[in-house]
Amino acid sequence: MKPTIEPPKASDDQVIKLGEYLRDPEKPLKGRFRALFTLRNIKNELSIKQIGECFSDTSALLKHELAYCLGQMQSSEAIPILSNVLGNKAEHPMVRHEAAEALGAIGTEECLTILKDYVKDDEEVVRETVELALGRIKEVKDNNISDPTSPYLSVDPAFPMACKDVKKLEETLLDENLPLYQRYQAMFSLRDLNTSESIQALCKGFQGKSALFRHEIAFVLGQIQHPDSIAALTKNLGDLDENEMVRHECAEALGAIGNPECEKILKVYLEDQQRVVRESCVVALDICDYEMAGNFQYADGLQTIATESS
């Protein structure tokens, strides 16, 4: 998905309407995602409130995306919301993972204190995410990083290494004995290189033992949007034994690549046995349509609510 360049201008009334649309389970999922991404880009206290009020929804996919967006907004106003989500042991692990990652993206002392309570969480994906989040906060402090955004305008769970040697980065990426944060650093370095060789190295990351790690591999391949990764993403999407969190991210990455081949693949899994995968394909096909149409900015939720209310 292409990053948004300019935040949309919206009145408080429009923001509230976007929130109402987001929380309405009768609305099409793709429309609700458009509303969510628009609220994320508006990035004020009212939009955070609208997003936070949607965590009672039944869709783990949507709630995980709510947490992701709150992290990308990097506002301390979201901390109590994310803390409650992370602390809810009845919540889907992928939602709790995303809340932990979001707290790491915000990165205040309060976030640090909250995250330390979950270093021994029962869920592996939560423990691993907390490890990454704590590593990210430490690196920001140690290196006095003031602008944490990537070339893709995303706030990532790790910062890339200075190394540009693909072979060395691949070795680090695949070394299960290294700290997860270090391997993530190699991952984002390979992403930023964005060459055929670096993409091939990233695709090998699907061999990793950690579902969290494999899901992030799919995420960065979606950011790169290169056809060279279609085969690997398709293979993992089609693996019914794969963690649903990984399969979901593979679907969305294919949507971001956004060509007729990806569209055809995604349609195969619209009736998948896993709800997270089915819903991911719905959203991915919407993103795919946007990419193939050559539109400048995805997720114009303001247009969506204006069209439906007219």
Q: Cα–Cα distance between 233 and 134 in angstroms, integer? A: 29
3-state secondary structure of 149: strand
Annotated binding-site residue? 65: yes
Q: How many CB atoms lie within 10 A of CB 261?
A: 13
Q: Cα–Cα distance between 17 and 20 in angstroms, integer? A: 5
Annotated binding-site residue? 197: no
Q: Cα–Cα distance between 161 and 143 in angstroms, integer? A: 13
β-pair partners for 32: none
Q: What is the DSSP string of 247-278?
A: HHHHHHHHHHH-SHHHHHHHHHTTT-SSHHHH
Q: Are 300 and 38 in contact (CB under 8 A)?
A: yes
Q: Cα–Cα distance between 13 and 16 in angstroms, integer? A: 5
Annotated binding-site residue? 109: no
Residue reference for tokens 């190699």: 186
| Residues 6+ away with beta carbon under 8 Å from 220 | 187, 188, 190, 191, 202
Annotated binding-site residue? 279: no
CB contact burial 188-217 (16+ within 10 A = b; e otherwise): bbbbbbbeeebbebbbebbebebbbbbbbb
Q: Are 255 and 288 in contact (CB under 8 A)?
A: yes
- Give the DSSP H/E element, type plus range, for residue 197: helix 196-204
Where is the binding site for Fe cation, in residues?
64-65, 97-98, 215-216, 248-249
Numbered residues of the known binding site: 64-65, 97-98, 215-216, 248-249
